[in-house]
Structure 1
Amino acid sequence: MLDYGELQQMALEGDNEALETNLNELKHSDLSILPEGISLLIFESNFPETILFREGYVIIADITEHIYSKYWWHKYHARVFVDAMERAVTRLQIEGNPLSDPTIESDEDVHIFFRFKLTLPKTTPSEQIIESINSAFDLVWERANAILENSDSVLILGKDTDEGLEKLKKISSELQHLGYYTYIIKEQPDRIGESIIQKVLRFALSSKFVIIENSEPSGHLYEIPHVTKMAELVTVVLQEESKGATWMFEDSYVKHSHWKKFSYKPDNMQNEIENAISWAENYIKEFGQFQKEKLPWLR
């Protein structure tokens, strides 16, 4: 059990050095009375390196994964996987998990330190805090794997010149902020012998879903039948109110459930992007569940 008298004295003296402890000692301690300004370091095998401290009514666990790339065993490059972990924390936080502040510190990719925070009520029992740290680390690891295995990429199509390109970049920036990889076709290198439709399909088929900015006519009108109709990719159409590239696809939003239009005003594009992403993610999840229930080879 922690010596709270000693910890209180350390706090009064302004001693900010993390005090090393162990899981057994932690299990028998009440962290709700941990003095503010005091940090506890847990550094044990088979447990994430963690610094615990209290701020007001919450306990914060600062969790670190140290990757020494020389001995990295995963099939994905160490830096690629750490980048996916950073996106995983962002996505999990948006989904309502008490995770935050993903950061990467790298020493020329030889030593990579990935850190994130788990926040819990200060009244959480110590054993539950320990379990939550383990669960949070596993959750981030599994989501990073899923991001790389199943693709959390989004292809963005639309007018890619002048103000149109700025809109695509704005959409891309918002998606990246929410933890997605993004592709704008114009920014991707061409391959000799590959047609534009082949190039678009190459990125489309490796993406989780497609977002099309449809306020003005452009080459995307030629790409839509291939991407959305032929390849049946889940597609979001973003369109500024009172604008639109064509009426030709308007009835398709009703006839095809994997295709949906979202109208936005110039000052609320961000909100509609978030609504569109929510719809696309829910559609993919519900369609996957339907497949598991109905298709015998997926049961």
Structure 2
Amino acid sequence: MAKIVLIEPTELYNILNQQTVYPCLSDQNFLLLLDARNKAEYDESHVVTAKRAPLDEDGNYKVPYDAELECKTHVIVYDSNCRSLREKNSAVYCASVMANSGSKNPVKILRGGYEDFSAMYPFLRTQKILYMPQEYDSIQTFPCEVLPGIMYIGSSKQAHDKFIHKELKIRAHINLSHEKDMFFSESNTDTYLHVPIDDTDDADFTSYIDKIVSFIDTNRNELRTILVWSSNGISRSAAACILYLMSYYKWPMRDAWRHMRSCKFMIRPNRGLVKQLAKFEEKHLGKQITDIEDPNY
């Protein structure tokens, strides 16, 4: 039997917004998202791509038709407002069936259920029930959430999307590319920081470390939501986010890296950035903790 665990709304948000060339949701083995509320609640609105958890003729939950649980990377269940695994509610009952029916990974229950998730991310609510394969390919993805409601990591395309800015209430940018920013002016140093480095091993990231940390600190204090972005949102922007986590929480690089990988699965800062982050770790914490030669760091 697979384990059953609670997850926070931000984890489901990030899972829904993973992307390579296409949204990860276009891989039918990536996510099985089940809504364990009643039909009227589901029909009124539900989380994007969620399927209503099916019932047998006796009213018991069953595995959806053609859902091969052993192939699913993520199996997530939610009801209206589950808060604990000790509750005897529809989410727990449904998750137990999935855990006992072949899920190879832990079955996750959304803490706070649909009520909390839809309040935090109303733009991920829908009434749409059926998706064609090409529709999964074109689902809009949002920047991943690094610090809930505070800092996001995204790509150039996302940074220039008006809808994303409106829904996430983005109020500040760190642009780690040579591209122009359509929302912020370089003259407004309170809300815009440009770090014009290339995604190459010899790029000088170190010279910008103090500016990046200070910029994020200032905007956090002013309660501005920050988007950290680069061309693809996986290398330079990831390095900046890892840097800030190391600085603010005094985490070694390996812990900041793991947190970033849990937020955005596809990050991969180039080797030159990793070496500069390792030097920052040694300076900031007084010793080197992360072995960057270890592939598991």
Greater helix share, structure number: 1
Q: Which has the higher contact order (CA 8 A, sep 6+)?
A: 2
Taking structure 2 as the reference length, what is the TM-score of the superposition? 0.28
Greater strand share, structure number: 1
Taking structure 1 as the reference length, what is the TM-score of the superposition? 0.28
